[in-house]
Structure 1
Amino acid sequence: MQLANLKILVVEDDALIAMLLEDMLSELGCTVTGTAASVESALAMAEAGGFDAGILDVSLAGHSSLPVARLLDGKNTPYIFATGYGSLPEGMEDSGRHVLNKPYQLHQLEAALASLENSR
């Protein structure tokens, strides 16, 4: 997957982490098409489309991002889970999904995005 010009949906409820992630993605040549801080806004953005991949915080203000992941699965859109807890949403533990453990660094984000190519 070419990272340059890759369009990314960011789903992250912590504004500081979202800004840092947006900066990292920009440094990798990616474009952030939208940032959602809640499950509801993430679902609306995911339904609208217009992006190549997503980065989903596992927990959004105490709510699971699993509905967003399921919607993206239905659209055959790749995504990465990001978590500070080290675990995937219930029901996704054995899915083989890519996970970024917070805090992550630029090279880890780059590797996770590049590995999405193998999951399609």
Structure 2
Amino acid sequence: MFREPLLTGRAFLVVEDEYLVALHLCREIEDAGARVVGPVSGIDDALRLLEEGAGDLDAALVDVNLHGAMSYAVADRLVELGLPFAFLTGYDCRSIPSRFGGVPCFTKPCRDRELLAFLAALPSGEPRDEERAE
């Protein structure tokens, strides 16, 4: 099915440990015109990618549970970088720590339209917090 690209020229980090879910997310994002960074399935890989190229990212989608480890270190780093993100989870979104209360959370299986609408609604090309300080 042909779709008007909603996310042309944008880049999104995908942090997801379930192969088929990651594949589907990447395909949907790319079909909407964006570039996917990753996907990565572990905390260390996600943190490494953030250190190497966070300035090129518009946002991230982060699975809460990565191979049995909670991805909150990745979320904390995204907050520090001022990079918007959303959690993805197969659990109840209310189980996420309150410090992430303002972060959108999508329960898997996610509705593609809702996820793409979230990504499309994010500001593009906005200066990050560290860029504003300079």
**Residue 97, structure 1, aligned to residue 103, structure 2:** yes
Shift of 1:92: 3.7
Alpha-carbon distance, 1:47 to partner: 1.6
State the alpha-carbon separation in 2 of the partners of residues 62 and 92 from structure 1: 21
- Matching of residue 44 in structure 1 with residue 48 in structure 2: yes
1:100 partner SS: strand
SS in 1 for 2:122: helix
1:65-104 alignment runs, 5 A limit: 65-87=71-93, 88-92=95-99, 95-104=101-110
Gaps of 5+ in 2: 1-5, 129-134
User: Deviation above 2 Å: which 4+ runs of structure 1?
Assistant: 88-93, 114-117
Whether contact under 8 Å (1:5, 1:29) holds in the other structure is: yes
Task: Tell me the CA shift for residue 106 of structure 1.
Answer: 1.8
Unaligned runs of at least 5 residues, structure 1: none
TM-score (norm 2): 0.78
> Offset of 1:99 from its aligned partner?
1.1
The number of equivalent residue pairs is 116
More helix by share: 2
| Distance across 1 between alignment mates of 2:91 and 2:99 | 14
Structure-2 residue corresponding to 1:30: 34
* Structure 1 residue aligned with 2:18: 14
TM-score w.r.t. length of structure 1: 0.86
Q: Per the alignment, in what secondary structure is the counterpart of residue 91 of structure 2?
A: coil
Deviates more, 1:13-22 or 1:29-38: 29-38
**What is aligned with 2:3?**
none
Q: Show CA shifts across 1:59-118 (max 9, x none).
A: 10111111001101111111111111122533445x22111111112211112213434x
Larger Rg: 2
SS in structure 2 at match of 1:114 = helix
State the SS of the aligned residue for 1:40: helix
**Which amino acid in the other structure matches residue 35 of structure 1?**
P
Q: Point out the more displaced range, 100-109 or 19-28.
A: 100-109
